[in-house]
Amino acid sequence: MTRISRYPVPSLAELPEDIRARILEVQEKAGFVPNVFVTLAHRPDEFRAFFAYHDALMLKEGALSKAEREMIVVATSGANDCLYCVVAHGAILRIYSKNPLLADQVAVNYRKADLSPRQRAMLAFAIKVASDSAAIDDADFDALRAHGFADEDIWDIGAIAAFFALSNRMANMISMRPNDEFYLLGRAPRS
Q: Residues interacting with a copy of itself, by CB under 8 A?
A: 2, 6-7, 42-43, 45-46, 48-50, 52-53, 55-57, 60, 78, 80-83, 86-87, 90, 100-101, 104-105, 107-109, 111-114, 129-130, 133-137, 141, 151, 155, 158-159, 161-163, 165-170, 172-175, 177, 180, 183-184, 187, 189
Q: How far is the CB of 90 from a copy of itself (least distance, A)?
A: 8
Q: Could you tell me which residues come within 8 angstroms of residue 95 by beta carbon, excluding any fewer than 6 positions away?
A: 185, 186
For a copy of itself, the closer CB: 23 or 176? 176
Q: What sign does the CA torsion over 131, 155, 151, 144 have?
A: positive
Q: How far is the CB of 110 from a copy of itself (least distance, A)?
A: 10
For a copy of itself, the closer CB: 28 or 31? 31
Burial class (CB in 10 A: 0-12, 13-18, 19+), 47: buried
Q: How far is the CB of 186 from a copy of itself (least distance, A)?
A: 11
Q: How far is the CB of 60 from a copy of itself (least distance, A)?
A: 7
Q: How far is the CB of 12 from a copy of itself (least distance, A)?
A: 21
Q: How many CA atoms lie within 13 A of 127 on its CB side?
A: 18
For a copy of itself, the closer CB: 18 or 81? 81
